[in-house]
Structure 1
Amino acid sequence: MQIHEEIEQCRDELISLRRDFHQHPELGFEEHRTAKIVETYLQALGLETERMATTGVVAVLEGELPGPTLMLRTDMDGLPIQEENDIPYASENPGVMHACGHDAHMAMLLMAARILVNRREDIRGSIKFVFQPNEEIAGAIYMVEEGVLEKPKVDAVLGIHVWTSLESGKIGITAGAVMGGLDVFKLTIFGRGGHTGLPEKAIDPILAAANLIQTTQMIQTREISNLKSTLIMFGKIAGGTKSNIIPDSVELEGSIRFIYKGGPDSVEQPTERFIRIAEQVCATHRCTCEINIEHENTPLINDPAMVEVAKSAAREVFTEESSLVDNISIASEDFSEFSERVPGVFMFLGAGNHLKETDFPHHNPRFNIDEDVLTNGVAMYVRAALHYFNRGREEKRR
C-alpha cells in the first residue's frame, strides 16, 4: 500500500487522538495521562518504551540493517490558559489548554510511528521517537541531561510545528536561524514607600519602572543593528496596594528574544545591555534593583543538509511548488537544545484557515488548527525519515 493511502486510512484515528489530547491538556511535567496514552500506543506497535524527565516517553524502532539514528521529536505540554473555543472537544481541565498545537504534534508522531513500524525494510538504521514534556519552559535540556541523545547515539533530529500564521497547505522549511533565543527576566526595583501627597519624602519605584520600560527599548533600535532582530518585551508589572501610597518596590517580568547567538561573548549582547540600562536607570531614580535572568532557549539553527532532506520529502507530500516557503519566527523553541548538538531541521506546517477560524495566534484562548493538515504532517515525518536513510545509502555508494 502507498504511504499516502495508508495515512488516509488512519485519518479518523489521527483526528481522534488529537482531539483527545486537546480535551485533556496537562501542564509541563504533569503530563501523566498524556504519557500513559503515548506509552500504551507505542507498546501496542511492538515498541519498548522508556520514561525520561518524569513524563517524557522514548521508543526506538530498529531497521532491518544497521546505520545512523534519526530522532523524531514532539512536545506534550499544554498552557495555563482558559479555552474560549465552542467546540465538542474543548479542554475539560479548567485553566489549562493546548493553545500551541502540541496535541496535534503528538497525534502526528504517533501515527507516523504506526506507518514506519511497517517499513523496517526501508530503514537502514534506527528511529528514536521522542515525546518531550514541558516545552513551554525549556524541558528539552532535562532530556538531554538524562541521555536522550545517547543509547543509541542520535545522528540527526527532525521536528514539526503546526503554525496558524501560515496558510493551510503550505510548509515552511528554511536553512539557518529560524527561531529566536530567549532570556526571561524578573526584575525588582526597590525604592522607599511614602504618601503620594509627600512624594519628596519617598523614593518612587513606579516612576523608575516607567522610565526603565521605555529606556530599554533603545537597545533594539539604537544599539543593535536592525538586521539583527531583537525584542525586549514586558509581560508583567506589579506594585502598590492603594492609590495614595507610594510602594516600597515594583516587580517587572518579561523576555528578551533574539535570532542570533547571544551571550556575553556575542557582539550584540542584548541581555547584558538590558542589565546595564536597568541598573543605571534605577540609580538615576535613587532606586536599587535586583535582576534575575533565566537563559531558556538558544536560537534554533536548521542544518542545511537536513533542510534538503526535508525539502525533498515536502516535494512528494505537497503537490504545488508554491507550497514550500521560507518561515522564520523570533518566538523560541527548545528544540534548539537538540539541534545545537546534532544536525537538525525544524519545519512549520501551515494550519491557518480563516474560514475555519483557525488563524488565531498561538497562545491565544481561541487557538485551534485546521485538522485537514494533520495527514500532511504525518506524511512529512514518514517521508523525511525515509529520505534521510536513503540519502545515507547514496552517500555511501559515492
Structure 2
Amino acid sequence: MSAAPTAEGTWRTWIDTPVRWAGAAVGVAVGVLVDFSPEPDVQLLYAFPAFGLCVMAGVLAADLIARPRHSWIRVAEVTPRRVRDYAPRALTAFLTAQAVILTVLVVIAASTASADAKGRSGRALAVECPAGSQLLAPWPGLYYAWPALGGVALGALACALLLRRVTLRSQTDDQRRVQARAAVGAWGVVVTAPLFAVSFTMAVVVLSLSCAGVAKIFVLAALALTAFASALSCCHCLGVPPDSPGLHGGEAMTAHSVRITVNHAAPVPPYEQVRAQLADLISVGRLRQGDRLPSVRQLAADLGLANNTVVRAYRELETAGLVRTRRGSGTQVVAPPSIADSKEKLAQQARLFAISARQLGATDEEALAAIRHALAQADSV
C-alpha cells in the first residue's frame, strides 16, 4: 500500500460519510411517505424497524463504495485478527442488553395479546376492570412486532458480516475500529428504534387503562423509561462517528510488528514471496514456536492474493516442517530443527546416497559430480 492516499482514495474517503447518512435520510423518507398499514396508530411499529434497516443499508453501501484501491506493493502483519479486537465492547454489550429487553417485551405482548374488535388475533389487549372490560389496540403482539424482531435479526446478520469484512480487510487498525464502531452503531439503530416503537406503543395502551392501580404506575414508568433510554441510545448510535481525522494515510504499523511484503510486479511468484519471508522469520526467531499465523482469508486480503496462493505457501511451509495446521486452531509455528538435528539428517541422507551410489557401481568422482549437479539445480530453482 502506498504511504500517502491517492486522489481516488481521497475521493472514496470523502464519499463515505454522505453515503452513510443517505441511508438514514432514506429511512426517514420511507417512514414519512410509505403507508405501511391502513390501520390507525400502527405506523410507528413498521416505520421504525424500516428506518433502522435503511441505516444499516447505508453503512453497508458505504463499505462497498468507499474502499480504497491499493498499489502493486502490499504489506501485511503476520498477526491473526479477531472481530472482538475491533468491535466496541461496551457499546456492543449495551445494545445486546437492549435487544434482550426488546425480545422480552415482545414475548410479554404476544402472551397477553387478544383478538381485536374485528376478531383478528394478536392485535389488542383485553383487560377486565371493575367498571367493565376494555379492549385496547394496537397492542404489539406478534402480528405487529414481527417487523421489529425480523429487522433485529436481519440487522444482526448484516452487522456480523460487515464486522468480518472490516476485520479481514487490508487497512490500519484505527480504520478497522472506526468502521467496526460504525457497523455496531448501525445495528444499534436497528435495535433501539423498534424498542422505542414497541415500548412507546405499550405505554400508550397502559396509560389508557382505567384500572390496575399501583401496578399501572410501575409498568407505565418502566415502559416510559425504556422508551426514553432507547430514544437516547438511537440518537447516540446515529451520532457514532463514521470517520476520524488522520485515519486515511498508509498502513500504520507498530515498530514491533512482524510483517511481510508482496510485490505484484515482481517476477517471483507471490506464493514464493510469502513462503520465503515466513520461512526466514521462523528461522531467525521473529516467529516463535506456538505463534499463530493469520488465517488464509486474512493474509490473502491483506496482500491482495487469491486464497489458494496463501494455501500453497502454508502447505510448503508445513512440508518443510516449519508450521502445523490443525482444524479449529489454525496454522501455528513449530520449532525449527536445531543445527545438530539438521546435520544429523544431512549425514543420514548422505549415507543413503553413498549406499545407492555403491550399489549402482559409481566411482567417487561420479558420485560427487552427481551431488554437485543436484546442488546446482537446487540453487537455480
Q: TM-score, normalised by structure 2?
A: 0.22
Q: Which has the larger radius of gyration?
A: 2
Superposition TM-score, scaled by structure 1 size:
0.21
| Structure with the higher strand share, 1 or 2 | 1
Structure with greater helix share of residues: 2
Q: Which has the higher contact order (CA 8 A, sep 6+)?
A: 1
